[in-house]
Structures are given as structure tokens and as C-alpha cells.
């Protein structure tokens, strides 16, 4: 079983960069859903798939966060092979 990150080994620069990218993404995620950025997307209309825009905006970020985690996982798997 391969340990991740490999225990006892120095993380490589790409690993550190990948971690930083993940951190930056989730900081943006937080900013997008809280004051003051959220105020710009805090509308009822247009309705998206029946949901008010404010709720659809939050759901969209959850889905985007999910996508980012999936992509990150896939690239980690490729790097390990």
C-alpha cells in the first residue's frame, strides 16, 4: 500500500504547489459564498431549475468544489502510477 504523502519523504515541489492550489481554491470558494461577494449574487431571479438564484449559486459552488476534488484525486492517482 502506497502512503500519501509518502511518509518520511520530503514532499516534492509539484506536491506543495498542488496543495497550495487546493488551498487557494477553497479560499475563493469561501469568499464567493460570504460577505461581500455573495451580495452580488444574492437575487431571487432568474430561477435556475426552479431554484431561486441565491440557492442555485450555493449549489453550483458545492458542485464545483466536488469537481475540483475529483480532478485533484485523478491527477494524484496518475502521479502515483
Query: Of the candidates 17, 70, 75, 79, which one interacts with other proteins according to CB under 8 A?
Result: 70
CB 72 within 8 A of CB 24: no
Closest CA to 65 of 16, 32, 17, 18: 32
User: Shortest approach of other proteins to residue 32 CB, angstroms?
Assistant: 9
CB 38 within 8 A of CB 66: no
Binding-site ranges for other proteins (CB under 8 A): 1-5, 7-11, 19, 22, 26, 29-30, 33-36, 38-39, 42-45, 47, 49-52, 54-55, 58-59, 61-63, 65-66, 69-70, 72-73, 76
Amino acid at each position: 500500500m502506497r502512503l500519501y504523502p509518502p511518509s518520511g519523504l520530503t514532499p516534492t515541489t509539484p506536491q506543495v504547489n498542488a496543495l497550495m492550489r487546493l488551498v487557494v481554491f477553497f479560499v475563493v470558494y469561501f469568499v464567493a459564498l460570504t460577505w461581500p461577494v455573495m451580495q452580488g449574487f444574492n437575487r431571487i431571479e432568474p430561477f435556475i431549475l426552479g431554484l431561486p438564484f441565491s440557492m442555485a449559486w450555493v449549489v453550483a459552488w458545492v458542485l464545483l468544489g466536488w469537481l475540483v476534488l475529483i480532478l485533484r484525486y485523478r491527477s494524484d492517482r496518475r502521479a502515483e502510477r
